[in-house]
Structure formats: structure tokens, C-alpha cells
């Protein structure tokens, strides 16, 4: 399996030493740049999976670098690092396109946990985008999930799914065999701030099974991974 790559853009050399050690000890690949302009130049060749971006740097600061990356269409997770913890800076950072904000000095464990969480979420984001925009379909057994048509067929007959039921099924069917936790499903279907309860995922799964499974209590397609989440069968 390919290592996820973490990139740091910061003008503090001691921080490069620290973050490199943290990243590599945690099993990540690591690359870095010492300023916003340099970072923007090497970003394309390094292709990191997540970016740690200092706010206050000479020349192009972190906020401006982030804005430029988003304008260029780069969607990787960006975690701002800053010695300033006031809400004004945080507001600017999120509006610039940042995903998270860690105040220096930070706990190594906290930083690693945030990196892991954003990488996991980004992977699920990609799977969801793939599910709802890709051409074609996933045909497994008697089930066909037609992604860009928002349509599911069972033995050639259209299944009457709600939009949310389809989106959950499509998310899983786009990556057969990959396990999604309830939290991941919730985040990518409803997003943060929704008043829908995460426990409702169980209800949606049950309703989908009632529509696509011959025996909902012994599903062949929409499988439960005990104490983890759900996955779509790779084959039946």
C-alpha cells in the first residue's frame, strides 16, 4: 500500500525536523518547503496527501498560499499551524479554504490524530465524489448501481430509493470491500452541522436492505462489519 505523504510549509527549520520525525515514525512519507512561494512551486511535483501550512511566513503567507491552492483546484486537506490562537486568525484561515487549525506549541499526539482524521475523511470524500460523478455502474450479482443516473436496478427492475438511500449505497458501491464507519457515512452524506443523528445510519441501512436484499436479515450486498461499520460486497 502506498504511503500517505505529509507536506510541511514553514520557515522554522526546527519544526521541519520535529514534524519529519513525527510523520516518518507514524509511517507517513514526508516532504517540505520553507516558504509559501517555494511550497506552491513544488506542490505539483510532490503531490502530498495532506498539507501542514504555517500562517506567518515572509513573502507569501499561509492564508494567501491556501487561497491560491484552492483557486488552482487543489482539494487536499490543509491544516494551518500558527502561534496565534485568536478567533480572528481562525476565521480568516477557514475562509481561505483551510480544513483545520492547530496552535503552536502543539501536542504531537494531537497533531497526528488530526492528520489521521483528515486523511481518512479525504479518502472517503474521494470515494463519494467518485460514486456520484463517475460514468457507468457497478454490477454485482443481481444489483446494478448506476452512479451518474442516481439509479439502482435489481434484476433489471428499478429500485425505488430515496436520494439519501441512493447516496449511501453509491458511496459504498463505488469502493467494494472498503469499510466505512457510521461517522464517515454521516459526514459525507449530511456533513457537519446537520441536525440528523448519526445513529440514523442504521435505519437507512435497514431500509436499503429491505429494498435490495432477498433476505434483509442475511444480506448479500450491503454487509455489516461488526463494531466497525458497513461495506458493499466485492462479489456474491
162-191 pLDDT, tens digit each: 988 998 999 899 889 999 888 888 877 876
CB distance 188 to 126 below 8 Å: no
In the chain, where does the domain assigned CATH 1.10.10.10 lie?
134-232
Give the residue with greater pLDDT, 10 vs 130: 10
**Residue 26's pLDDT band (cuts 50, 70, 90):** very high
Q: Is the CATH code 1.10.10.10 the one for domain 5-122? A: no
For 45-80, the pLDDT digits (tens) are 899 999 999 998 888 899 999 999 988 878 889 999
Question: Whole-prediction pTM value?
Answer: 0.60
CATH code, 134-232: 1.10.10.10
Residue ranges of the chain that CATH labels 3.40.50.2300:
5-122
Amino acid at each position: 500500500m502506498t504511503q500517505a505523504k505529509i507536506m510541511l510549509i514553514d520557515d522554522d527549520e526546527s519544526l521541519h525536523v520535529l514534524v519529519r520525525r513525527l510523520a516518518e515514525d507514524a509511517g507517513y512519507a514526508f516532504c517540505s518547503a520553507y516558504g509559501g512561494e517555494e511550497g506552491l512551486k513544488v506542490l505539483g511535483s510532490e503531490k502530498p496527501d495532506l498539507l501542514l501550512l504555517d500562517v506567518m511566513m515572509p513573502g507569501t503567507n499561509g492564508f494567501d498560499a491556501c487561497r491560491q491552492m484552492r483557486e488552482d483546484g487543489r482539494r487536499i486537506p490543509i491544516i494551518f499551524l500558527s502561534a496565534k490562537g485568536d478567533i480572528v486568525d481562525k476565521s480568516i484561515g477557514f475562509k481561505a479554504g483551510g480544513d483545520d487549525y492547530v496552535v503552536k506549541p502543539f501536542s504531537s499526539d494531537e497533531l497526528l490524530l488530526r492528520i489521521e482524521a483528515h486523511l481518512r475523511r479525504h479518502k472517503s470524500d474521494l470515494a463519494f465524489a467518485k460514486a456520484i460523478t463517475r460514468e457507468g455502474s457497478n454490477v454485482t450479482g443481481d444489483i446494478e448501481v448506476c452512479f451518474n443516473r442516481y439509479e439502482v436496478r435489481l434484476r433489471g427492475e428499478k429500485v425505488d430509493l430515496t436520494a439519501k438511500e441512493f447516496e449511501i449505497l453509491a458511496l459504498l458501491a463505488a469502493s467494494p470491500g472498503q469499510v466505512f464507519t457510521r461517522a464517515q457515512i454521516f459526514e459525507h452524506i449530511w456533513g457537519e452541522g446537520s441536525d440528523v443523528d448519526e445513529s440514523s445510519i442504521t435505519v437507512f441501512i435497514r431500509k436499503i436492505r429491505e429494498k435490495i436484499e432477498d433476505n434483509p436479515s442475511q444480506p448479500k450486498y450491503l454487509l455489516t462489519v461488526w463494531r466497525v461499520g458497513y461495506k458493499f460486497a466485492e462479489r456474491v
